[in-house]
Amino acid sequence: MNTNDFGDVKTLAVLAQVAPAKIDMDATADATNANLVGAGSNYLHGVTLADFAVTCGNLTGVTLWAPVQDECSIGTLANNIDQTLFLDEVYVNSLEFSYTTGANATENYGAETDNKMWLLNGGRFVNFQEATISGSDVIAGYIELDLAASATVAELSTGIGFLRKDAKGATAISHYDASENTMTNVEVIQGVLADVGTAGYEEKYIYEPSATAATGKHTIYFPSATAFTPAVGDRLQFVYAADQYATPMNEYFVPIEEPTTRPNTVGALRQGQVEIYIVDPSDATATSFENAWRLTGATISANLTREPLAELGHLSPYDRPITLPIPITMTVNSTAGDLLNWARFAGKLSEYETFTLQDINISNLMNKDNLTLVVKVFEQTDEEAGGTGSNRKVLPGSSLDGDDYFNDGVLAQYSAPSREYALKTIIVKNLKITDEGMTLDLGSNATQTFGFKANNDLFVIKGDVSYDTVVGSLVRSA
């Protein structure tokens, strides 16, 4: 799965299965809605590699589907679907962030699964609906699907067309328990209201089609067993195949129209919107970010190797845990200039800047193992913002004036003139250099390449962060 980086964190958060309560990222970060925490209980919205390794409370992988539009409707927004590729229990096994001059910034993901099917004819429309349970829902004891009463949920070869499965392979819907912070697939069967609470059905959701339901709509009745009944604040997710899309959420193509806390005017990021810093936490004289010198590219990769766990009685693996530690590799390319980058990577920057450094050798690079990479991406280019770093400005009349932003997890709103803050910040801690090379060819500038490695400590944070947050502790919030 390949995409342009447009300054958003939510795609990564969904793939990492961050808990629903922490995936909204639309308010100031606190102990209840934040996924990361820094020194001094500085809560932050974001994702870390550890999220991909967490299996307790999560579903087994994510769900993906790809509708294929009818040939005669190509070039339109019509919901004329010919077929849909559906994949369930998809596990992400690699990720890569790439920032280079002259090209769009990208974020790419690899994944694996044993569950693949094609849906066609009366089941070719895959729908997704999420409902947050209210007090009135609990009293009523049911939720209505958004699907039109005239539409039909498909009957597949495996049964009713709800597409997620529980631990025993039965057709299921997903229940997020807000108090326990756990997501569980719970079996759903087709029936009628009278089936609720009858012997054998106490722990199952019951789906009744609109044709027979007293509500006149497609209805999901709650289980009667207390441990399975959703409470106020819980969320239910339904993924199902039908003979048409339910509106307004499900369309063949719908532009992103979510709260203003997500970037909505950026299609892709280029070199004037990306700043990269190499931070040495051991340098007590440094108090702010400084752009790394003459960089032309930076690539961050993580290999999330997974082991398929099989057992008798199940055709497909029942889990694919990540092999720990998770290795991170990073490559930095630059145009060769002075020795500033060498000094920075060797932990000799302060001596270099005071002209007291006499030499830098390969052993200096080998001994340094706690560097931190910081990538910040912005909505404006440096020319629009009138500078880089803390000099970036939001001017009156700018498209950013009045927009929301996050800084150290705090939600605020631009009031021009003011400083521009990053849309997203990537942090890789405890880097150790693995290789370095210099290339000089006749007719072209000399170039330098630096390679680094780290384990586990990759964080992607919504909004901007301060220098103190970067050099301090940063972990996954409980």
pLDDT, one tens digit for every residue, the chain (478 residues): 999 999 999 999 999 999 988 998 999 999 999 999 998 889 999 999 999 999 888 888 999 999 999 999 988 888 999 999 999 999 999 999 999 998 999 999 999 999 999 999 999 999 999 999 999 999 999 999 999 999 999 999 989 999 999 988 899 999 999 999 899 999 999 999 999 999 999 999 999 999 999 999 999 999 999 999 999 999 999 999 999 999 877 888 877 666 678 887 888 999 999 999 988 888 887 888 887 778 899 999 999 999 999 889 888 888 889 999 999 999 999 887 777 777 877 888 888 888 898 888 877 777 788 889 999 999 999 999 999 999 999 998 888 999 999 999 999 999 989 999 999 999 999 999 898 888 888 888 888 888 999 999 999 999 999 999 999 999 999 8
Alpha carbon 357 to chain centroid, angstroms: 43
Residue 257 is predicted with a pLDDT of: 67
Sign of CA dihedral 218, 224, 225, 230: positive
- pTM for the full model? 0.91
What is the secondary structure of 125-138 as a DSSP string?
Answer: EEEEEEEE--HHHH
Angle at 334 between CA 331 and CA 336, to 5 degrees: 135
Q: Write the single-letter amino acid at 396.
A: P
Q: How many H helices and E strands in the chain?
A: 9, 30
Whether the Cβ atoms of residue 249 and residue 240 lie closer than 8 Å to each other: no
Q: How far is the CA of 388 from the CAs of 204, 275, 277, 380, 416, in angstroms?
A: 57, 8, 12, 10, 17
Greatest Cα pair distance in the chain? 86
Whether the Cβ atoms of residue 427 and residue 461 lie closer than 8 Å to each other: yes
Which tokens sit at 166?
């529980």
